[in-house]
């Protein structure tokens, strides 16, 4: 039976550390501020926005939310992003994805000032990850690294397999594991013999978006299994990409869904906001 990697406990620890730092910043007259934009009333997105607000309150970050109607125009959204870019009190801007169809998502996200890209989604941030220079680390992949590290496992020299190659999760995940000196393979929907590849992994990260696609037969005995997926199962219950009940019998350590990577994403978002405010102070 695998060790359960508890994202709730680890994320709370990180938020406590940040809270202390923010208390010190506040004593010097600096309050980090995050602006979150939500367009439409996608219920899943609303949950994340609520969780972010709560985390901001806990850490002491000022949070501003902009909840815009589903029929918001490109022009209205661009105006809001521009005003937040120019607002010196705002340290981080997060535009909740996906955006409704009438909005050019690429145009909106690339408008965000790189200094305020707390999601770590912009080319500047991903480029910095790739070159190993200073920049915002994408929250979910950075959260996965912290989960592994703080659970006492090392990445150096390990066979790491990331299933998924999206710009927001899979690709930055692979780059961060590489930076930690892992030997990294990226698998995706065109990968042949996926099971053969995942069975090589000492550290397996699933970021596919398909409920319970990773079965016990896809996992090496003693592997560390990190489940990024957020799906609904046949009963509408939240579940990951990993078949937890099967895989927990074979893995050395495993993250649950919920209570694994999700809370870490939020903790790392808080971390990026504090970092943005810290950088501004140094300018």
Is the CB of 95 or the CB of 177 nearer to ligand GUE? 95
Measured between alpha carbons, how far apart are the two ends of the chain, in Å? 50
Report whether 11 belongs to an annotated binding site: no
Positions touching ligand GUE (CB under 6 A) are 47-48, 51, 94-97, 119, 139, 230, 238, 257-259, 262-263, 265-266
Is the CB of 60 or the CB of 263 nearer to ligand GUE? 263
Q: Cα–Cα distance between 41 and 70 in angstroms, integer? A: 7
Q: Cα–Cα distance between 180 and 202 in angstroms, integer? A: 14
Q: Which of 52, 171, 220, 248 is catalytic?
A: 52
Q: Which of 119, 124, 218, 241 is catalytic?
A: 119
Q: Cα–Cα distance between 187 and 197 in angstroms, integer? A: 8
Q: Cα–Cα distance between 26 and 146 in angstroms, integer? A: 26
Sign of CA dihedral 226, 211, 245, 7: positive
What is the per-residue binding string for ligand NDP in 168-207, x denoting contact by CB under 6 A? xxx----------------xxxxx--x------------x
CB-based closest residue to ligand NDP = 166
Q: What values do phi and psi take at 235, rounded to 5?
A: -100, 10
Q: Are 77 and 38 in contact (CB under 8 A)?
A: no
Q: Are 250 and 271 in contact (CB under 8 A)?
A: no
Closest CA to 127 of 140, 143, 144, 110: 110
**Is 91 among the residues known to form the active site?**
no
Under the binding rule (CB under 6 A), the answer on residue 161 touching ligand NDP is: no
The CB-of-31 to ligand NDP minimum distance in angstroms stands at 26
**Is 52 among the residues known to form the active site?**
yes
Report whether 83 belongs to an annotated binding site: no
Segment lying near ligand NDP (by CB under 6 A), choices 24-32, 110-118, 174-182, 224-232 = 224-232
Is the CB of 80 or the CB of 197 nearer to ligand GUE? 80
Closest CA to 4 of 198, 140, 147: 147
Is the CB of 60 or the CB of 229 nearer to ligand NDP? 229
| Catalytically active residues, by annotation | 52, 96, 119
- Binding-site residues for NADP(+), please? 164-166
Query: What is the contact surface with ligand NDP in residues (CB under 6 A)?
Result: 140, 163-166, 168-170, 187-191, 194, 207-210, 213, 228-231, 261-262, 265
């Amino acid at each position: 039976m695998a060790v359960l990697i508890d994202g709730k406990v680890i994320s709370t620890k990180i938020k406590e550390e940040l809270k202390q730092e923010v208390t010190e910043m506040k004593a010097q007259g600096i309050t980090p501020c995050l602006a979150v934009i939500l367009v439409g009333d996608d219920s899943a997105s609303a949950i994340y926005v609520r969780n972010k607000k709560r985390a901001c309150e806990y850490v002491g970050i000022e949070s501003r939310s902009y909840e815009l109607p589903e029929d918001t125009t490109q022009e209205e959204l661009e105006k809001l992003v521009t005003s937040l870019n120019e607002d010196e009190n705002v340290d981080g801007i997060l535009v909740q994805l996906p955006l409704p169809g009438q909005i050019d998502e690429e145009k909106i996200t690339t408008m965000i000032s790189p200094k305020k890209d707390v999601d770590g989604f912009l080319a500047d941030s991903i480029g910095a990850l790739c070159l190993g220079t200073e920049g915002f680390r994408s929250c979910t992949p950075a959260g996965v690294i912290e989960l592994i590290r703080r659970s006492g496992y090392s990445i150096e020299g390990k066979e790491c397999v990331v299933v998924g190659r999206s710009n927001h999760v899979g690709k930055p995940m692979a780059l961060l594991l590489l930076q930690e000196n892992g030997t990294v393979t990226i698998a995706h929907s065109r990968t042949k013999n996926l099971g053969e590849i995942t069975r090589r992994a000492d550290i397996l990260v699933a970021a596919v978006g398909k409920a319970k696609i990773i079965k016990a037969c896809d996992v090496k005995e003693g592997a560390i299994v990190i489940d990024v997926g957020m799906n609904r199962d046949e009963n509408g219950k939240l579940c990951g990409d990993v078949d937890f009940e099967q895989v927990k019998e074979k893995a050395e350590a495993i993250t649950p869904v919920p209570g694994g990577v999700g809370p870490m994403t939020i903790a790392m978002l808080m971390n990026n906001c504090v970092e943005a405010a810290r950088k501004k102070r140094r300018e």
